[in-house]
Structure 1
Amino acid sequence: MGAPSGTSDRVSAADVQELVSALAADSMEGRATGRPGSMRAARLIAERFARYGVKAAGDSGYVQRVPMVATVGRNGRPAVALAPSFAALDTVAAGRRLVGGNVLAILEGSDPVLRDSAILVGAHYDHLGIGAPVDGDSIFNGADDDASGTAAVMLVARALASGPRPKRTIVFGAFTGEEVGLVGTRWYIRNPAVPLARTVADFEIEMIGRPDSLAGGAGKAWLTGYDRSTMGERLAAAGIPLVADPRPAQNFFQRSDNIAFAYLGIPAHTISTFNLHGDYHTVNDEADRLDYAHMARVVESTIRAVRLLADGAAPQWKPGQKPEAPAGMRERLGIP
């Protein structure tokens, strides 16, 4: 089991509310991928990582720049594409080049052997930006999706940096572009902070802003793909208040950044408490609608979960349960 929790692992509702409110503020303009509001959010996340004492792991301090291009999707709406390289981006008209990036930090492990392997703890910080006004509000603030998970990643970093050092190395990632095709995660896979061959698990945090009665209510969560690997059962057996995804028909396992890592063979799952509330992907996903006492308990459980993953046996796929990437995704991820 992981190190016993101490005062460094305690999280208050106010801690979570401060971070979510900042990320979901109107000044962030909905954190649309490649837009100025997104980079304001990236700077906020980087500043917190620095304050909490985790090392920068990007190519520009904490920021890992991602080459992106503004395009038009099949539906005729603006879209974002990942450029193959920065050299290729230079060939694109200046007006179509987008500025954005992942925010990466690293906490080196304490064990002389296990520190060569890593756990990736991540969330996407992007959202939908600005759209057509609804009752005078045009900003998609994305408080639950996914300022909530991004705040959790920062608070996990704070706890692990200030408490007993985990045995394995921890990479903390706030990824851009999840909403537009896992753009930031696909770039990270090509340019990881720790080689993917040494990344033994990916633990994503997505939409933990409200209790889900099907998970057991306040303070309890569910894990996507629970039955696919040994991760969920191990965490639950250790007392983490975590159950299997109660809505498998929604295919949440395939709908977050974790799926890209899972296709590469890394046991990768997402913790969530999304209860299918009606504010999803609307201008009503506001910070004042979240349950911060609930979120604080989930973040504390997440800290414990990451410690267990970092200090114990690496999770393994169960026989026949590792997902296989469809042909199009294999090409996008560079899988032979």
Structure 2
Amino acid sequence: MKFKILLLATLIVQSCISNQDDEVKPQEIRDFVEFLASDELKGRETATEGELVAAQFIKSKFIEAGIKPYFETYFDAFESKGFKGVNVVGYIEGNDSKLKNEIVLLGAHYDHIGFGETVENDSIANGANDNASGTAAVLAIANRLAHSGTNKRSIIVALFSGEEKGLLGSKALAKKLNEQDIDLYTMLNFEMIGVPFIDRDYDIFLTGYELSDLGEKLNTYTNTTMVGISDVAKKHNLFKRSDNYSFYNEFKVPSHTISSCDLTNFDFYHHVDDEIDQLDFAFMATTINKLIPGIVQICNTDTKEIQMYAPSIP
């Protein structure tokens, strides 16, 4: 009952936030993260009540934005390795009779680890940066895309369960979509974008940057140099450690994670202090606003301009 009361109260507050312009505001992102990373959700571990409340919240944001379910319902359940999880999957149909058959997929995982090592009587691993931040980014971007209705290609918006258990939700969805033989153009995954770098000449990096021209295209499309390559991410092969990899594995198309944290600039990975007060919401909003025109361009080019450099990845 406490969860339901908190959810209702948050939805009422959210419905009062003005969306009269297209610019994403820091407070909007903060509100999303504050709900998802609240103690009441107890760290959003896969298949727990807290994670289900987060899924219901995401569904409510889809409905509010006018994003339709991709399947018969927004919830796409799966079972893997003893876990029963649920991905939340929405759909924004393209407006071009031909290009709408090509799919751009925006994703992030909304689960976290639940509880961690106790610090000062706190054992809840809230997962504000990991990955309420990425979830908030996808919700804000999808809201703008749905309201503008300018996308020629169709967009699948997917928030994944079970990432922390081994990419379980994204593996299940990628396999299911591949069995449907969808024409996936590219997949953009959002992970840990809550803190800026302090010593880089770019704002965000792509895992597997060198494997396709997506980073270069995003910089061209946004007329910025906001996207770069992280040597740390390359060293630790982060390309294979988030939900983008499930889609690369199934489709062999450009599928990358967008992040601003390669663990050199954030000390609270899987830590109970991954809390909302660690995040920079002005940075997040600015980053999202800079990215949106690039995502719009990905959805609207006449041909598939983004290509893999390597035919296969070990």
Task: Give the TM-score band, short-chain normalised.
Answer: 0.7 to 0.9
Q: Is the counterpart of residue 117 in structure 1 residue 117 in structure 2? A: no
Q: In the alignment, is the contact (CA less than 8 A) between 1:118 and 1:194 conserved in 2?
A: no
Contact persistence 2:37–2:132 (CA under 8 A) = yes
The equivalent residue for 1:302 is: 291
Change (3 A) 1:196 1:181: farther
In structure 1, the partner of 2:230 is 245
Q: Which residue among 210, 228, 246 is the counterpart of 1:227? A: 210
Could you say which residue in structure 1 is the equivalent of 2:308? Answer: 317
Which segment is superposed worse, 152-161 or 132-141? 132-141
Residue of structure 2 in register with 1:15 after alignment: 28
Give 1:252's aligned amino acid.
Answer: L
1:67 matched to 2:79: yes
Distance 1:117 1:39, change over 3 A: same
Confirm or deny that 1:207 pairs with 2:207.
Answer: no
Give the partner amino acid of 2:78.
V
Contact 2:95 2:152 in 1 (8 A): yes
Shift of 1:133: 2.2
Question: Aligned residue for 2:261?
Answer: 274
Instruction: Report the secondary structure of 2:94's partner residue.
Output: coil
C-alpha distance in structure 1 between counterparts of 2:52 and 2:249, whole Å: 29
Give 1:34's aligned residue: 47
**Corresponding residue to 1:283 among 269, 272, 278:** 272
What's the secondary structure of 2:177's corresponding residue?
coil
Separation of aligned partners in 2, 1:245 and 1:142: 22
Q: Which residue of the partner structure matches residue 254 of structure 1? A: 240
Q: 1:301 offset after TM fit, Å? A: 2.4
The 10-residue stretch of structure 1 (272-281 or 173-182) with the greater mean CA deviation from structure 2: 272-281
**Which is worse superposed, 150-159 or 185-194?**
185-194
State the secondary structure of the residue aligned to 1:232. Answer: helix
Alignment deviations for residues 246-301 of structure 1 (CA, whole Å, 9 cap, x no partner): 42212221211111211230210111100521111100000111000000011112
- Asked if the contact 1:168–1:310 (Cα under 8 Å) also holds between the matched residues in 2, the reply is yes
Once the two structures are TM-superposed, the CA of residue 7 in structure 1 deviates from its matched residue by 7.2
Distance 1:34 1:193 in 2: 25
Distance 2:311 2:162 in 1: 27
Structure 2 vs 1, CA of residues 48 and 179 (structure 1 numbering), >3 Å: closer, same or farther?
Answer: same
Query: Deviation of residue 213 (structure 1)?
Result: 2.6
Residue identity in the other structure for 1:228:
L
- TM (normalized to structure 1)? 0.81
Q: Measured at CA, do residues 310 and 179 of structure 1 come closer, stay the same or move farther in structure 2, by a change above 3 Å?
A: same
Unmatched tracts of structure 2, length 5 or more:
1-18
Relative distance call for 1:316 and 1:196 in structure 2 (3 A) is farther
Once the 2 structures are TM-superposed, how far is the Cα of residue 302 of structure 1 from its aligned partner?
A: 2.8
Structure 1 residues 162-210: Cα deviation after superposition (integer angstroms, max 9, x where no partner): 1142010000000011111111011102322994540110000000000
Which stretch has the larger CA shift, 294-303 or 139-148?
294-303
Q: Report deviation, 1:229.
A: 0.8
Equivalent residue for 1:147, pick from 132, 135, 141? 132
> Would you say the 8 A contact 1:48–1:154 is kept in 2?
yes
Which region of structure 1 is more displaced relative to structure 2, 253-262 or 195-204?
A: 195-204
Q: 1:115-134, CA deviations, whole angstroms, 9 ceiling, x for partnerless residues?
A: 00100000000100024422
SS in 2 for 1:133: strand
